[in-house]
């Protein structure tokens, strides 16, 4: 029976040595895992910092884009207002040019009437009646004189 006891003692010693070796291996792996965890935590913090910086730049870019869109919308409204003002001014200028032309033609006809000898026949093609004639003839508007300055 002594031989068996020695086997059990020898087996127990081998198992104990194997358990100590496994424990040492697990401790080395735990230390490596803890080092990897520390490195991963540092990398995570760095990545979060980079993400926050990129997010801030993105937010600034979005804000700038929103501001640019608002400026473009305001410019579009201003352009529309300017075009409307141009159309109104163009219509007014056309109407006033027509009135100036008509008044100039009337003044020219009236000046011709004043220069005609008494008793000459006046033929008004458009059927308009001339207003009372002035005592002195006015210069013709078509010659570059202003009808207002001649008064």
What pLDDT is recorded for position 151? 47
What pLDDT is recorded for position 33? 98
Question: Residue 19 gets which letter from DSSP?
Answer: H
DSSP state string for 62-82: HHHHHHHHHHHHHHHHHHHHH
What pLDDT is recorded for position 150? 46
Q: Which portions of the chain are predicted below pLDDT 70?
A: 1-10, 116-151
What pLDDT is recorded for position 27? 97
Whether the Cβ atoms of residue 105 and residue 68 lie closer than 8 Å to each other: no
Question: Over the Cα atoms of the chain, what is R_g?
Answer: 53
What is the pTM for the complete model shown? 0.45
What pLDDT is recorded for position 113? 82
């Amino acid at each position: 029976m002594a031989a068996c006891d020695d086997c059990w003692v020898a087996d127990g010693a081998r198992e104990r040595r194997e358990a100590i070796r496994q424990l040492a291996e697990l401790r080395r792996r735990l230390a490596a895992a803890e080092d990897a965890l520390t490195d991963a935590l540092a990398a995570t913090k760095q990545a979060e910092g980079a993400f926050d910086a990129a997010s801030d730049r993105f937010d600034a870019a979005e804000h700038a884009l929103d501001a640019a869109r608002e400026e473009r919308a305001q410019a579009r409204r201003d352009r529309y207002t300017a075009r409307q003002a141009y159309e109104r001014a163009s219509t007014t200028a056309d109407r006033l040019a027509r009135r100036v032309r008509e008044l100039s033609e009337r003044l020219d006809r009236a000046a011709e009437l004043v220069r005609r000898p008494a008793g000459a026949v006046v033929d008004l093609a458009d059927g308009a009646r001339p207003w009372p004639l002035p005592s002195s003839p006015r210069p013709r508007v078509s010659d570059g004189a202003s009808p207002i300055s001649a008064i």
